Every structure is written in structure tokens, then in C-alpha cells.
Amino acid sequence: MLLLLAACDDRPRQWDLFIYPNAGDLTVHEELRGFTSFEHCKAAADYALKLRSPEGGGTFECGYMCRYDPGMQINVCKETRD
């Protein structure tokens, strides 16, 4: 049964990056999509945060197989890491 449910998942098999330049305000963010691995996503996050928040204070989250849920008004991912 679980295998059938997994086969019905239409989310892209990629990692997406959510950058929060101000860790105190998670409503302001940027998204970069389409990374092939978590390691690529994290490397992009490290670089992007250095550019956007050179003094520190920003944060990020990488999400695997994400899609926007209009009912909840958030991105829902199969897995997230930071």
C-alpha cells in the first residue's frame, strides 16, 4: 500500500532551497529550486547567506520533493534539512 502511495506523489524529485536572510523573521524568504542533492543545496545556501547576510543572522532550509499547498499557504516537503 505504501508503495502505491509513493508512486502517486507528483512532487519533483529535487531539493529546493529556502533562504531566510533574517532568522528572526521567517516570513521573508527567497527560494531557489532544482538541486540534485542536499549537498548541492547546502553549498548554495552557504554561499547565498554570505552574500545576503555577511554579518550573519540568516538561516536556510533545504527541502526534498516540495510543493506549495494553497490551502495551508506553505511549502510542504517530504523531507527538510538545515
d(CA 6, CA 4): 5
Q: What is the pLDDT of residues 9-49, one digit of tens each?
A: 667 799 999 999 888 888 889 999 999 999 999 999 999 99
Cell reading at 10: 507528483
Give how far the C-alpha of residue 48 lies from the chain's centroid of Cα atoms, to the nearest Å: 13
C-alpha atoms less than 13 angstroms from C-alpha of 22 in its C-beta half-sphere: 5
Read off φ and ψ for residue 72, nearest 5 degrees.
-90, -15
Alpha-helix residue ranges (DSSP H) falling in the chain: 2-7, 38-52
Q: What is the pLDDT, as a whole number, of residue 12? A: 78
d(CA 44, CA 78): 20
Say what the pTM is.
Answer: 0.81
